[in-house]
Amino acid sequence: MQLKRDLGIWGAASIVVGTVIGSGIFLVPKTMVLRTGTPEMVFWVWIFGGLLTLAGALTYAELAASYNEAGGEYVYLREAYGPMFGFLYGWTQMWVAKSGSIATLASGFFLYLANFNPALEAVLFTLPIPIGPGWTDLQVRTGQLAAIAVILLLMALNYVGVRWGGGVQVAVTILKVALIAAIVAIGLGSGQGTMANFSTSVPSEAGIAGFFAALVAALWAYDGWNNVTMVAGEVRNPQRNLPLALTAGTLAVIVIYLLTNLAYFYILSAPDVASSDRVAATMMNRILGTQGAAAVSVAAMISIFAALNGSILSGSRVPFAMARDGLFFRSIGKIHPEFSTPHYSIILLSLWSCLLVLSGRYDDLFNFVIFGSWILYGLAAFSVIVLRRKRPDLPRPYKAIGYPVVPLLFVAVAIALLISTFIDKPRESLLGLGLIFAGLPFYFYWRGRSRPV
């Protein structure tokens, strides 16, 4: 059995936009202005991060059009460098990166929900297991169960068909963009702001170190643009729709982010933004009072819901692709006979994410894996150049614009980001590499028994 190509251009583009825009745009401006010092530098970081993301999208567009099958980077790394590199990427996505991202999003959903019902933050019970934050005893809160319930709901929706999951993604993404557009319009049209805010500043580390530290925060907000490549095996007319979804979706996100920050700094000064953990809520509270802040919480929850759905929809295709190659549990590579979905893969990813929500350890795992993940992202982008030499005969219905400058630009910045991250967080970087290479014994085990589905 094969996966059905039930995702059209709107479904594919909504995965890009809906997965990228999660909670980051509501949170990271504080970190960025603290690192750079001025609104002007914040905008330069957003623009640079957006262009870097666009360079990655243009590069991946060529790969996705040529290898339009489930798995995304797993497939590109496998074809360019061999199955071990593909496996290490898939291993990282399954157990840490994608599952940690889903757990983080679900927990963010319940934190915003707790604004309306503070009882969700109450501790239900404590287990004498030292896997909680700071290796304390595990505390289970009502909100964690609510977060798990959201994951299970989206698991069920994606289980019964990619058309259902894609339909939900389109609807929620449209609603999300409309709500963010309303926040921008209210901010810029309120008449309560001043252009003088753009000339304010706060103390910062400044310099190249501050720029790259702010860039890490911006790239976290831009993260997820590559997710549509993971469902390439279910996109209709992939040679056309995948490059279009990647480029148009990424450009849309860049515009949305710049307009949103324009509204933030029109209403709030740099010190106001630097002191706010939820800058959108602070802005709306200044304009409309508590009702405005509550509206932002609703918008953030819808935004996170769309990102969650897109993450489960796309992320489950990576372990599925590994299993089809005989490099993971064989059952994970099976397709549901009625719904034509990788149902076991969807269940495994969702349940593991639920366990991370329950443990509260996902933040540590996610921080550890950022360094290693960017090594794999850089290698995936460079695989365009490798495959041009290795497979000159490969059909390429779409070729990367600006080749080879655009792919090399992405790789060069990835290397600079890795160096900066290693200097800033050497312990987390080394531990992240350790988590990734912990998959090697499993690779050799499955490789020895390899029998593709």
pTM for the predicted model, two decimal places? 0.90
For 127, residues 6+ apart whose C-beta sits below 8 A from its C-beta are 137, 138, 140
- Structure confidence by residue, pLDDT tens digits, 130-142: 766 666 777 888 8
As beta bridge partners, residue 125 has 140
Write down the pLDDT at residue 349.
Answer: 97
Write down the pLDDT at residue 113.
Answer: 86
Write down the pLDDT at residue 97.
Answer: 86
Write down the pLDDT at residue 235.
Answer: 94
Write down the pLDDT at residue 425.
Answer: 79
Each residue's pLDDT expressed in tens, for the chain with a length of 453 residues? 788 899 999 999 999 999 999 888 888 899 999 999 999 999 999 999 999 999 999 999 999 999 999 999 999 999 999 999 999 999 999 998 899 889 888 988 888 888 888 888 888 878 787 766 666 777 888 888 999 999 999 999 999 988 889 899 999 999 999 999 999 999 999 889 999 999 999 998 767 888 888 888 898 889 889 999 999 999 999 999 999 999 999 999 999 999 999 999 999 999 999 998 889 999 999 999 988 989 998 999 999 999 999 999 999 999 999 999 999 999 999 999 999 999 999 999 999 999 888 877 666 666 677 787 788 889 999 999 999 999 999 999 999 999 999 999 999 988 988 888 888 778 888 888 888 899 999 999 999 876 656
State how far the Cα of 320 lies from the Cα of 19, in Å rounded to an integer.
Answer: 20
CATH number for region 9-448: 1.20.1740.10
Write down the pLDDT at residue 118.
Answer: 84
Write down the pLDDT at residue 180.
Answer: 94
Write down the pLDDT at residue 133.
Answer: 64
